[in-house]
């Protein structure tokens, strides 16, 4: 029975690619959360301006129920924005690193399979050294070049 490429790739790549996809999903969530936090920050600035205009009574009914004395909430939003950017950056870099590791593993599995296939066929029919080298070097290298973009394919609609 001839081993299938998928059967050889699955244990080498699946776990790394899955963790990478989860980390990339967290990155996308952080990127989407940034503008939402900024919108709330701008709303807070508008509320602060309204509080300054009505400085006499000390409270102003707002959409979110904040009084004029709760100006510290802007600092909380700034820290949350900073933390989401840091977490997003961390998730993106680790996702790309894991996908590169998965691609290197996939390339080594493919090169090993091609090498074994070439050894098996070398006695049956003549192949030039150039053809074998092309299969092992260039065709397996395509996997390594495509890997960092794989997560962008499923997250493109977001």
Helix (H, G, I), strand (E, B) or coil at 148: helix
d(CA 120, CA 131): 15
Question: Exposed e or buried b for every residue in 98-108, given b needs 16+ CB within 10 A?
Answer: bbebbbbbbbe
- Which pLDDT belongs to residue 3? 62
- Which pLDDT belongs to residue 156? 76
CB atoms within 10 A of CB 91: 21
- Which pLDDT belongs to residue 57? 55
Question: Residue 25 half-sphere exposure, CB side, CA atoms within 13 Å?
Answer: 7
- Which pLDDT belongs to residue 1? 45
CB atoms within 10 A of CB 124: 7
The crossing angle, in degrees rounded to 10, of helices 73-122 and 5-53 is 170
- Which pLDDT belongs to residue 142? 77
Per-residue pLDDT of 65-98, as tens digits, reads 556 666 788 889 999 999 999 999 999 999 999 9
- Which pLDDT belongs to residue 2? 56
Residues of the chain short of pLDDT 50, as ranges, are: 1
- Which pLDDT belongs to residue 92? 93
């Amino acid at each position: 029975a001839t081993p299938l490429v998928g059967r050889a790739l699955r244990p080498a790549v699946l776990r790394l690619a899955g963790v990478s996809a989860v980390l990339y999903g967290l990155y996308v969530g952080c990127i989407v959360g940034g503008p939402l936090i900024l919108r709330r920050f701008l709303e807070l600035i508008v509320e602060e301006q309204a509080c300054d205009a009505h400085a006499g009574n000390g409270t102003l009914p707002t959409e979110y129920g904040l009084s004029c004395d709760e100006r510290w909430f802007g600092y909380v939003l700034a820290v949350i924005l900073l933390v989401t950017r840091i977490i997003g950056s961390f998730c993106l870099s680790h996702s790309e690193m894991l996908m590169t590791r998965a691609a290197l593993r996939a390339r080594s599995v493919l090169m090993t399979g091609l090498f074994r296939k070439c050894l098996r066929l070398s006695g049956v029919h003549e192949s030039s050294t150039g053809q074998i080298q092309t299969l092992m070097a260039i065709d397996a290298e395509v996997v390594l070049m495509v890997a960092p973009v794989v997560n962008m394919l499923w997250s493109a609609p977001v």
